[in-house]
Every structure is written in structure tokens, then in C-alpha cells.
Chain A
């Protein structure tokens, strides 16, 4: 994995929409006037939401100007966190957890499925421009590992079959229901086990 993928084609300018300008003011109110640069993270996220899930360089410059900090300082933040995307993402943006518990439970296979059904390269759009995927660190659903996040929803208890089914469902926008793909509720035991010692 190399550094964050930054889109080659960039919009010339970026400004907040009227609603987001109001939200921006709300965000800035949370910080003392002379510490307003602390608002960099929520503002970047706001910009990402407005711009279909990714932040253009013009947006970074716009936010830096708003907060009166050098461009590079906002750029540092935007490249550091995986939550910020600097290149267009698909309508279905898949984040695959590959941290240890998921890895042990076979997240490698899920990554292979992503490469096969979405795009060969991480962070790049699929051929139909409908989806994209990245690897991320722990998303906090280890009990149902391996798991992925698609936009704001978790899909858990995956295997090659269910992952394939999900990725193929992007074509006709018929995603399966969220949560465990093995049919269990939350993280309740599989096969009605009541204790750990009984099988």
C-alpha cells in the first residue's frame, strides 16, 4: 500500500453550499476564536459529504483559507486519516476491515473478491464507476468478523459467497439487508448455543 490516492482530475473551485455554510458556522462555534483551526476535521468531513464522498484539493485550500492555516497543514490531516477520500468514490463505497480478528477470519478472501468484482486497484473506481473499495483498520465489529462497511452500513459474517452476492447486487441496486449475512441477530451465538462449553 502506498500513500493515499489523489484524483488527477480536480474541480477548479470548491465552496460550501448554503446549508453547509450554516453548519460550518455551527461547527466553528464549538471552538474558541483563536483556536478555530481545531475545526479542521469536522469541516473536512462536511466538505466530503457535500462533494459525493471525496475532498477535492480546492476544498482543502478553501478550508485552509477559512481557518487561516497553511494549505499543507490541512493537507496533512486529510492524507493522514483513512476517513477522508481524496479521489472520487463509487455510489457504493466499500471499506474492508483487515485488522487482526478479521484477517484471521478470512478478510484476505474478501479483499480478493473486491479486486475481482469491483476494481483491481484499491481506491479506484470500478469500470461502471458505481463502486470502489479500500482497506481500513478495525471498524469495531470483530465479533462478527470478517466484515465490510458499505457507505454507512455494516455487512458482517462474510464469506466468499455472501461477499460476491453483495458486490453483484450493486448492479441492480438490490443490496441485501444489513448486519450479519449468516442470519444471526446482532452477535448472538450461532446454532443457538447458550454457553461457551456446549457445542
Chain B
């Protein structure tokens, strides 16, 4: 471990640390543009120059490894002069258009030129001008502002795994572009907007919407998929203006997927802002009382009530909903499955992503079984890609998903391969025997009533043989699934939909055969199921309520209210509580805190917010029944940009979908 001195402070750092990191450990701030912790080192902006003893010239600290006895200065005249010089050069071709630039207020170049710049420029010639480049519906470019840090190129190559970006020409004429200006074919593409230290790549949907200092920032959780990415929601008044990632090294690091980021304009469109009751075949706007009376009239006729939970519902609402339906129907006629979906609730090891998302970093062998993580859980795929890029881990697949941005060894698409692995007939078992930390990732595509049990139980048998029972990972797709399983909000969906009264809590994906049924829809968006409902109760979207969500690892995370529901809409638990009073089945809580306390009393394991559940795998049962199956993997079509009602209401997501389809059809945008 080398010892170095930074501005007189002696520190000991690990081998392979760079001088810049050492300076940070010593508490010294080093300005930088091209250096980024998560990307490879480029060393081309020269902003991080520091003075090193015995070196005649200042050194680029981001690219200089520490060595024993180095003496670094970050505050000398030489460093100051070097920074001012670099800054002056960077600003030679950078336009002075901060007042009309969307990066203004959160621009690295602006901040650093204030802090480290020389204050004036000696350049008198014309600045160069560069044409705007088309990079798809999400990224707005203004390439005059580009300082060629190449962060975006490195991101698309190293992390997104889609090397579409590059730098063409050279020297003064260098330009960042995609080949012939095609759309970046990645679900992570918008992260380059955050990475860009200047205003060259800015957000197209957010263009000229607001200034960063006008926005109210709320740190919360994403519900577009089951990963539970940590996000920051920026609001101006009621409107959610944009969504940004929040660093959580255990889940999404500092990236989020494009859907998480840009489905937020769906929160403004297609909203239900008042209760409705169907009269003479037409939905008529009404008061809350009228809607409740209509429901209680129906419930007085029959108690055959079934409840279906949607994909973005929070834990408290699911719990309150379960209590209400149970007290009305006298049985647990409630379910969260909007499609044919098998799961085994007997032990958490059967339905969680047991290896954890961070665990992917340490894995050395991954088997995807009917999983398409790029679409189903983009941030999980980003982790796999990261590990693949760093360590070239082996990734195998049963079933051939679309391009996952890494190389996949295709084992075949018949699930009987699993049995062959178990019986050591398939050579994959040799790899498995050698692996220190293998992972089986099972997608929802094979978790249907026909294949699900076979896949899970056979996988467990295989893993048990190699003493790796904690390597079973179920790749859930919706934010509410794991929470619903944990609090027992499930029954046979076939039976639930048989009921005469169906209560849909934001269930937008399921196809309901209406016939003579009475349908109550409670949710935020006017989805296809809201349109067939007899009573509509306006609920809140995920940014408009406090709530807990359980992600696919079983980690409980707390989401916070950033905005408020439009019109007469209310938070879901409040609606359920008020309705229960009308129905004389009053739920025993008055505030969200009381509801949470009740929830935690019934399910103590859910009270550990932000922690991974601790699971004892020794008592995980394996059923050896039905170990014979000969059927192939059929991937369920999941429309990435349209997977839930918020995304379907979003104009941006629609644009992305169209751009992607064009790209698929022609290979270019024309």
C-alpha cells in the first residue's frame, strides 16, 4: 500500500489507485470533465492537472497511478495557472449561450469555470460551429457546446453495450455522432444526458421546461419494473417535469432505464380526476358519496367480490385492499396475476431474486431460463453487462432471447435441457460444478402453469446438487408482484375473475370478460379496464402518494409523495378506508402510519426498509413430482415502451416505440 502526501496530508491508499482518487481521499477537490468513476479513464480534458514533486510538468491526476512517496500539490500557483489555461482552451469553441441552455444551473463547465476559470478569454477569432446530430427521440443535441470529453462514447460502449456513438474526424474538426445519425438502440440511452458535463446532450422531452432551481426534488422509488430503481422526481407545481436517477450502489448504481426516466409525461395525460358511475350504459361524473352508494347497493345484492391488483400498486394499498376484500367476501378472493403466472409462495427462496442485484457483480456463471432481462429488468441487465465487460463471465441461455448486449451461449430452447443438466447429460453441468457463484435467472415467460413448476423445482434440484440453493432468481416484471406474494394477496386468478363483482385496483393489463359482471375500477389512468367499469374511483399515481414497494430481491423501499393527485382523486388507501366505512366494514386505521403499523405487525419482515431479506435456504422444500416435461420456451412479448398504463399514456414512450420499430425494420431511421 503506497503512502502519498497530498498538500502535506499523508495518506495510505490501495495499489492501483489514481492520483485523483488519492486527492479525493485526502479531501481535496479536483475539477474534471472526462473522468467518471464508472467509466474507463480517457484523460483527454486535462482539467484534473495537479503538481507532482520531481515532475517538471503538471500531471493529469485521473490517469496517473499513485506510487510510493509521491508528493502532490493541488493548490499551487502552477496548478492554478494550468487549470485556467485548460479552461480557456475549453471555452474557445464553447458558445456563451448559457441563458438559453438547458444545462444551465447544473452544468459542470459553468460551475468549474466560475471556480477555476481565469475570468477572461484572449480568443478573438470565430468559434467553430457543428451541426446538430439526431440521436433519437430522447436526446437533444447542441454539438457546438461539446467539449469532447467522450463520456457518452465510453458509456454506450462499456455500460450500455451498444457501441453506436463515436467521434469522427480529428483535431479541431472532431465531432461526436452516431453512424449516419441513427437512433441509439439502447434502453439506457438517456443516461448520456446525465453524463454530459455540458449542454451538448440534453433531454429532448424536458427541453425548455424548467430551470433546475425552480424544481421541487423528491427522492423516491421507481415502479416501471420490479427492480425498484432509486429515482429523484422533479416537480414544478403539480407537474412532474422530469425523473433522474439517484445513486444506490446495490440496485441501479447511478443509471436508470429510459422508461423510468421518460414515462413521466404519462402522469399528466389520460388521468381520471373524478369518480364516475355508469348510468344507462354511460359513464357519468359523480361525487364520491354517489360512487360509494352505488358500490354498497351492489355489494348488498351479493358478496361474491373478487379483487385484482395492478402492477404499480404500493404495499399499503395492497394490504388495505386485501383486508377490505376479505371482510366483504369472507375469503381471500384477491390476486395480483394479470396473466398466466406460476409461483411458489411456500418459501421466499422460491420467488425472490435471491442472488441480489449486487450479487451479479460477483457471479461467474449465469444461466438465463426463458428470461429477457434487457426488456424485463433493464437495470439487472446493465449489471450483467457490466460484469461481462469486466470479467467476461459465461452467460448461457435456454431459449434464445433477443440481443442482450452481451454474448450468450445458446443451450437450446427445450426446457428438457434442465433435466439433462440434472442427469449430467448436458455438458453444462461441468461448468456449473466449477462455478463459485452461479446464477439461474428465470423469466416470467416460462413461469406459466404448464412450465413454471417444472422449471423452478428442477432448477432447485440442480442447484442443491452443487450446494448453491441461493442461486435461484426469479425475474419479476411488475413492482407489486413480490409485495403481493409476501402479504398473501393471491388466490387462483381463474376463481377470482368468476366473481360477480370485480374490484380492479389499478389492474390495467388483464382482459376482463364483462358480461353481467359489475366492475369497480380504482386507479389513476383511464385505461381499457376503466372504460368498461361500472364505477370508477380516481386514485393516485405512484408519484402522488407515500408508499412502500418491494423489489424483486425482496427489498422493501419507501417511496415518497412528490406531487398530488389531480382533481378529486385521492390516495388509494384513503379511498379503501372511506369505502369500508360506507360498507359498514370499517378498516381499523385512520392514517397511513397506523396502516403501516398494522402491516408491520402482521408481516414483521416487511418493516426492514432498504435491507435485503435474510433467508434461510436450509428449509427450502423441493418437490420431486412432475420432473418430466418436453416443451420449448416461448417468449412472452413484452412491449418495453408500453408495459404499463403510465407508459402507454406517455407521448415520449410512443415516439421511442416508433423510432425503435423503424430502426428494427430498416436498420436506419429513413
Contacts and interface: CB of A to CB of B under 8 A. Distances in A.
Contacts of B173: 1-4
Chain B interface size band reads 10 to 19
Interface in A54-79: 57, 70-73, 75-76, 79
A3 B169 contact: yes
Contacts of B177: 72
A73 B166 CA distance: 7
B180 interface: yes
Contacts of B163: 70, 72-73
B170 interface: yes
A70 B164 contact: yes
A75 B175 contact: no
Interface in B278-319: none
14 contacts: A1-B172, A1-B173, A3-B168, A3-B169, A70-B163, A71-B179, A71-B180, A72-B163, A72-B165, A72-B178, A73-B163, A73-B166, A75-B168, A75-B179
A3 B167 CA distance: 11
A73 B167 CA distance: 9
Given A3-B175, A57-B180, A72 B164 contact: yes
Contacts of B178: 72
A31 interface: no
A89 B166 CA distance: 26
A80 B178 CA distance: 15
Interface in A1-41: 1-4
A65 to B, nearest CB: 12
B169 A72 contact: no
Given A70-B163, A70-B166, A71-B179, 14 more contacts: A1-B173, A2-B173, A3-B168, A3-B169, A3-B175, A4-B169, A70-B179, A72-B164, A73-B163, A73-B166, A75-B166, A76-B166, A76-B167, A80-B168
Given A70-B179, A71-B179, A76 B168 contact: yes
A79 B164 contact: no
Contacts, number: 38
Contacts of B165: 72
Interface of B: 163-170, 172-173, 175, 177-180
B611 to A, nearest CB: 41
A79 B169 contact: yes
Contacts of A80: 168-170
Contacts of A4: 168-169, 173
A76 to B, nearest CB: 5
Of B166, B167, B173, B175, most A-chain CB atoms within 10 Å? B166
Contacts of B180: 57, 71
A73 B179 CA distance: 9
A79 B168 CA distance: 6
Contacts of A79: 168-170
Of B164, B170, B178, the most chain A CB neighbours within 10 A belong to B170
Nearest to B164: A72
Contacts of B179: 70-72, 75
A75 B165 CA distance: 11
B166 A72 contact: yes
B646 to A, nearest CB: 33
B269 to A, nearest CB: 36
A95 B489 CA distance: 76
Contacts of A72: 163-166, 177-179
The 5 closest A-B pairs by CB, nearest first: A72-B166, A79-B168, A3-B169, A71-B179, A72-B179
A72 B164 CA distance: 6
Nearest to A60: B179
B90 to A, nearest CB: 20
B5 to A, nearest CB: 41
A73 B178 CA distance: 10
Nearest to B165: A72
A156 B224 CA distance: 68
Of B165, B177, B179, which is in contact with the most chain A CB atoms at under 10 Å from its CB?
B179
Contacts of A75: 166, 168, 179
A79 B174 CA distance: 9
Contacts of A76: 166-168
A75 B169 CA distance: 9
A48 B295 CA distance: 77
A75 B175 CA distance: 12
Contacts of A57: 180
Nearest to A64: B179
B178 to A, nearest CB: 6
Nearest to B157: A70
A182 B170 CA distance: 36
Interface in A94-124: none
A142 B163 CA distance: 41
Residue of A57, A70, A72, A75 with highest tally of chain B CB at under 10 A: A72
A76 B153 CA distance: 12
A76 B180 CA distance: 12
Nearest to A74: B179
Contacts of A73: 163, 166
A185 B202 CA distance: 60
A72 B179 CA distance: 5
A80 B173 CA distance: 10
Contacts of A3: 168-169, 173, 175
Contacts of B168: 3-4, 75-76, 79-80
Nearest to B172: A1
Nearest to A76: B166
Contacts of B169: 3-4, 79-80
A76 B177 CA distance: 10
A3 B169 CA distance: 6
Contacts of A71: 179-180
B86 to A, nearest CB: 24
A75 B173 CA distance: 15
Nearest to B166: A72
Nearest to B163: A70
A70 B172 CA distance: 24
A79 B171 CA distance: 11
A128 B383 CA distance: 58
A76 B165 CA distance: 10
A57 B179 CA distance: 10
B95 to A, nearest CB: 17
Contacts of A70: 163-164, 166, 179
A65 B210 CA distance: 44
Among B168, B170, B173, chain A packs the most CB atoms within 10 A around the CB of: B168
